[in-house]
Structure 1
């Protein structure tokens, strides 16, 4: 069942993962994290099987993370921040944007 259209297309996130490397669970977990955080603000999160060590994440066709270029896999904090920066730069991600304990220690010194 399709939702009524508001006229504005919602962003599409595509996660391409290597089937040879068995990265489906990693890709699915990241998709779940994005859907949990951004909910109805995303139009789709697609999992796209790939090969040859591929692991890349794109928002509306623009690559925001590529495993080889960016040096491995994103942590969830970095992933959510990059998605947020593409779809809603002013959005507060709560604890994801908060200071770390190490930052707090530096501030007290």
Structure 2
């Protein structure tokens, strides 16, 4: 009997929506690079989405990971990676990032 392998599971997409008027592209690109470096095997893509009006929102699928207006400014890399980890692979140890 020939068994068909299961279809591949789609990996999550992170979208970083940044304000073009505020020139936050470099900040968004840096955060995308950090996420891709840390979660290279866990993410399907990190997209940079241009926006306006002071927007800076990081979403993983339908879930908002960070919103500048709600969370108060921009995340530091440690907080961002911990929030993404908690969404993707909660049991994963982030090494020195998880240490006080």
TM-score (norm 1): 0.84
User: How is 1:70-85 mapped onto 2 (pairs within 5 angstroms)?
Assistant: 70-85=71-86
Structure 1: 5+ residue stretches without partners: 100-109
Q: Which runs of 4+ in 1 moved over 2 A?
A: none
Higher helix share: 1
Cα deviation per residue 1:57-84 (whole Å; 9 max; x = unaligned)?
0001211100010000000000000000
Structure-1 residue corresponding to 2:94: 93
Distance 1:93 1:58 in 2: 20
Aligned-partner SS, 2:99: coil
Structure 2: 5+ residue stretches without partners: 1-5
Distance 1:36 1:68 in 2: 26
TM-score (norm 2): 0.92
Distance 2:53 2:7 in 1: 39
Aligned-partner SS, 2:29: helix
User: How is 1:29-108 mapped onto 2 (pairs within 5 angstroms)?
Assistant: 29-99=30-100
Cα deviation per residue 1:9-55 (whole Å; 9 max; x = unaligned)?
10100000000000000000000000111112100000000000000
* Matched pairs, number: 95
Aligned-partner SS, 1:65: strand
- After superposition, the CA RMSD in angstroms is 1.2
Structure-2 residue corresponding to 1:27: 28
